[in-house]
Structure 1
Amino acid sequence: MMRQRNVVIVGAGLVGALWARLLAQQGHRVTVLERRSDLRRTAIPGGRSINLAVSDRGWRALRLARLDEQVRPFALPMEGRMIHEPSGSTRFQPYGKPGQAIYSFHRRRLNELLLTAVEEYPNARILFEHRCVDVELETPAVLVETPTGERQRLEAEVVFGVDGAYSAVRLRMQHLEGFNYCQEYLDYGYKELTIPPRSDGAWALFPRALHIWPRHSFMLIALPNPDGSFTCTLFFPLEGELSFAALRTEEDVRHFFRSEFPDTVPLMPKLTEEFFVNPTGSLLTIRCFPWSYDGKVLLLGDAAHAIVPFYGQGMNAGFEDCVVLLEFLRQYDPDWSTAFRAFERFRKPSADAIAQLALENFVEMRDGVLHPRFQLRKKLEQYLADRYPDRFVPLYTMVTFTHMPYAEALRRGRLQERILEILLERTESESDWQAPSFQQMMEKLVEELPPCDPALLAGAVPERILEHPFGTGSG
């Protein structure tokens, strides 16, 4: 059992609430500060919530918090992408092997469940409408503004900044000498829309898929909800001839959707209303380092590494932060300062890796999936995975259906990409793959790949990292 500490967590979003639950389970005295009102008791305007895609990394964290069985009834399996071609035809592309799926979950519903789960522990409390206005890093202490406008100072042994991409805790750390920080906005935004249930309550589209309408420079996606509706998100340039700025009137919007997504128009009775009422969200990537200060303050989740949503790993990466950090705390307790430094050095390369993969997957989703060579590439990738399961694991599988560190998945993915490029230069169709010369080349190339380490696939922190925590580079 760890030595019990008095901790403050700034932020009661998904990752903050999960981390509060995990620390409370360990017996720590936990105070969570949240600037918003309690979303379980307040009507909060919608329109900014991209539905969650919970994958294996997220499920592992929920199991650790003993919440997976509570969450599962509200999670809808999506076994692949349903591609809606410009021609109007559809094509299903499985994510993995039969039985593998990512799960659609409404962000607010999961956040509500996590908040309630925190409050099950008498040693944990959540203070809503308490806005962090400053952090004393040395003490540490948090200065908050209460609902009445009064300012209070809360001291703790440790402060965790889990307050999202626009983190107030990180803002204070940015004043430190040697703190590196970078934020990059895409010149795209997003708009949330809705496909309601049919009159009989059923889904208007196939519910066991993530639907994508790729259109080269932009796309529309739709994720199913338990009530029979779909949450749709339009990812679209902010400026230009085809952009949010160019769609000024209801007729502009109707004409655009009739031209680009004609099959959705009959399914969206409130299209123009939602388009102009719901805000246009921004898409950004945040990289910073170090994430900790003197064993007293630590950033987690989007506060440390916000990413764009195109790999469906933002929440999963934040949840995995909690799983990995808990392992380091158990290893080094009571020396949390060493644990924090070991954690951030181990985790930072993976945070950078998934940020890069998310940016690249945007191009694949909106453009790549439309090309015939992409479809052949996917078939060849799966052929190699079936033939050499101990060496060739598709990148999407490594990221989504294993716990391999993202950095290792990216490294192996780049090696496999080279193999695919060489083989695709020598094939025009699946019939070519049985030729003896092709088989020999395939065998030789795949043999150059090191076998997959089962421990890495399971997400185990290598012993060399635990034994020598500062030998992994600064990221």
Structure 2
Amino acid sequence: MSIQNGHTKHLNVAVVGGGLVGSLEALFLARRGHRVSLYEYREDIRKTPHVRGRSINLALSVRGRRALRDVGLEDIMIKEHGIPMRARMIHRPDGSTYSIPYDTRTNQCIYSVGRNYLNAVLLKESENYKNVTRHFNHKLLEANLPKGELKFVKMDTKETVSVDADLIVGTDGAFSAVRRAMLKQPLFDFSQQYIEHGYLELCIPPNCQGGFQMPPNYLHIWPRGNFMMIALPNQDCSWTVTLFMPFKNFKGIDSESKLLEFFEKYFPDSIPLIGEKKLIDDYFGGSPSPLITIKCRPYHVSDKAIIIGDAAHAVVPFYGQGMNAGFEDCTILNNLFQKHKDDLTQILAEFSNTRWQDAFAICDLAMYNYIEMRDLVTRPSYRIRKALDDLIYWISPDLWVPLYNSVTFSTMPYSQCVKNRQWQNKVLAIIIFAAGVFAFILLCWARR
């Protein structure tokens, strides 16, 4: 609602791009009484199988949980579908393993949730609101954002549909058509970066009894320096396995013998879990997908349009924050609607002016965490630093929150998480320097 001349007005909102963030934002807006039309390029995900190359499970953490709680869906995801992952399980090249807990102090965890299931839950919930309509197979052709005008084509009938909206919300992903229309606006900054690494999905099936082949309450990681493999548990006791490595490495594995030789060298314990035939079929049945980081600003056009989620800040998946950051966008927008009493001019401007710093921060943190996951976790220096972080956090939780905990288990702004880490690095450097000086003095005194 917005207030005009003392009267309450319900907004006509067009959410372009269903998906997770779009479906969630539709719920937030519907709960405020606005009329929401949800336009999705794809078919209804509840009626279609998994699209290869698109991750089928996601890591849900505190930021995402908070957003789901606000629309009444946290419990169904956590209690009925989420699989808790309490630690990283590190697989060495020799097949031995060890675990690194995420939170030794309060035992918080992240949850593996199915993308399709979560999307289905959000869409089903939207059906409980008469002020939400869903339009699938609608491709955006044109957008006049300053005027709130959109033109779609129905993919099945090729019919064109014109839409006028009080507000356009672009949630149409990393290759957003709404953002592309924003590029025509003056003073719009945009950058994208592809990394040299791609990813390919494999699968560990359930065992003969229909159970898990590995301990399920972990995010399993095979770190190998310049590349890595991870596995997340699924509700059917299978595992979604994702191989991340440079495209040149993928290109070099061009035969079954090279593939098996590669896995026998770097991931030998995974071969009996996946099965040689399934490994070969899955690997050569797909192709590696690219990974992209996108930064842009501002996120809005006057009081008519805004982009959120991957459309505003696509991140690589290594911190598990892509979905969570997008869901947090919905929470922040909802709070701004409340703060400014649905005044779009103030809401959209404040979102743009404040959110970009945190969005840029999580983009950078996600890149850093890839280096940590594929390489640093195997180094003694990493384990020493984590032990120090955990010890100080245990002694003084109000003063010292480790970086991963602040990003994953709090709603501290991402940019503040970075500043917090920088401060901690300085403190530890001073402590180490002081300890070195003290040790040197003691050594000199002992030699007198």
SS in 1 for 2:146: coil
Please name the residue that 1:448 is paired with: none
Q: Where do 1:31-430 residues align within 5 Å?
A: 31-49=37-55, 51-72=57-78, 73-96=80-103, 97-146=105-154, 147-239=156-248, 243-269=249-275, 270-423=278-431
Query: Is the contact between residue 50 and residue 192 of structure 1 (CA under 8 Å) also seen in structure 2?
Result: no
Residue type of the partner of 2:97?
T
Question: Aligned-pair distance for 1:46?
Answer: 2.6
**1:329-369 deviations in whole A, cap 9, x for unaligned?**
11112421111111111111100111111100100000000
In structure 2, how many angstroms separate the alpha carbons of the residues matched to 1:100 and 1:74? 17
Structure 1 residue 325: Cα displacement: 0.8
Q: State the Cα distance separating 1:50 from its structure 2 match.
A: 5.4
Counterpart amino acid of residue 237 in structure 1: P
Identify which of 13, 17, 30 aligns with 2:23: 17
Tell me whether 38-47 or 266-275 shows the greater mean CA deviation: 38-47
Q: AA paired with 2:151?
A: L
CA distance in 1, matches of 2:299, 2:53: 31
Question: Does the 8 Å contact 1:377/1:420 carry over to 2?
Answer: no
Residue 139 of structure 1: how far off its partner (Å): 1.6
Q: CA deviation at 1:427?
A: 7.6
Superposition deviation, residue 45 in structure 1:
3.0
- Residues of 2 paired with 1:94 and 1:418: CA distance? 25
The range that moved more, 208-217 or 376-385, is: 376-385
How far does residue 156 in structure 1 lie from its aligned partner after superposition? Answer: 0.7
Using the TM superposition, name which of 46-55 and 172-181 deviates more: 46-55
Secondary structure of 1:40 counterpart: helix
Instruction: Give the counterpart letter for 2:334 in structure 1.
Output: L
Deviations 1:138-163 (A, max 9, x none): 22111101121121111111100000
- Bigger fraction of residues in helix: 2
Read off the aligned partner of 1:60 and give its amino acid letter: R
Measure the CA separation in 1 of the matches of 2:404 and 2:50. 34
Does the aligned pair in 2 maintain the 1:188–1:235 contact within 8 Å?
yes
CA gap of 1:364–1:327, structure 2 versus 1, over 3 A, is: same
Provide, for residues 198-248 of structure 1, a one-character-per-residue CA deviation record: whole Å limited to 9, x for no partner: 111111111011000000000000001111111010001011xxx111111
What's the secondary structure of 1:87's corresponding residue? coil
1:473 maps to none
Q: 1:148 to 1:44 in 2, by over 3 A?
A: farther
Structure 1: stretches of 5+ with no match in the other structure: 439-475
Check whether the contact 1:6–1:30 (CA below 8 A) recurs between aligned residues: yes
The alignment yields a C-alpha RMSD, in angstroms, of 1.8
User: Matched residues in 2 for 1:116 and 1:216: separation?
Assistant: 43
In structure 2, the CA distance between the partners of 1:245 and 1:427, relative to structure 1 (3 Å rule), is farther
CA apart distance, 1:47: 3.2
Query: Contact 1:48/1:191 (CA < 8 Å) preserved in 2?
Result: no
Moved more, 369-378 or 214-223: 369-378
Q: How far did 1:87 drift?
A: 2.9
How far did 1:423 drift? Answer: 4.1
Q: Indicate if the aligned counterparts of 2:94 and 2:268 stay in contact, CA closer than 8 A.
A: no
Query: For the residues of structure 1 that align with 2:336 and 2:51, how far apart are their CA atoms?
Result: 38
SS where residue 210 of structure 1 aligns? strand
Deviates more, 1:356-365 or 1:67-76: 67-76
Question: Aligned pairs, how many?
Answer: 429
AA aligned opposite 1:70? I
Does the Cα contact within 8 Å between 1:24 and 1:30 map onto a contact in 2? yes
Describe the superposition over 1:380-430 as per-residue Cα deviations: whole angstroms up to 9, x where unpaired.
1111111222211111111111111111111111111223344456789xx
Q: Once structures 1 and 2 are overlaid, which stretch shifts more, 295-304 or 91-100?
A: 91-100
Deviation at 1:285, TM superposition (A): 0.5
Structure 1 range deviating more: 132-141 or 174-183: 132-141
Contact 2:38 2:133 in 1 (8 A): yes
> Could you tell me whether the CA contact under 8 Å between 1:294 and 1:337 is conserved in 2?
yes
CA 166–318 in structure 1, closer or farther in 2 if over 3 Å, else same: same
C-alpha separation between the residues in 2 aligned to 1:246 and 1:278?
A: 15
Separation in 1 of the partners of 2:51 and 2:19? 16
In the alignment, the residues of structure 2 paired with residue 88 and residue 305 of structure 1 have an alpha-carbon distance, to the nearest angstrom, of 37
SS where residue 339 of structure 1 aligns? helix
Contact 1:54 1:103 (C-alpha < 8 Å) held by counterparts: yes
Contact 1:130 1:144 in 2 (8 A): yes
Which runs of structure 2 are paired with 1:430-445 in the superposition (5 Å)?
none
Unaligned runs of 5+ in 2: 3-8, 443-448
CA contact (8 A) 1:381 1:420 kept: no
Give the number of the structure with larger relative contact order, counting CA–CA contacts within 8 Å between residues 6 or more apart. 2
SS in 2 for 1:263: helix
CA distance in 1, matches of 2:110, 2:435: 32
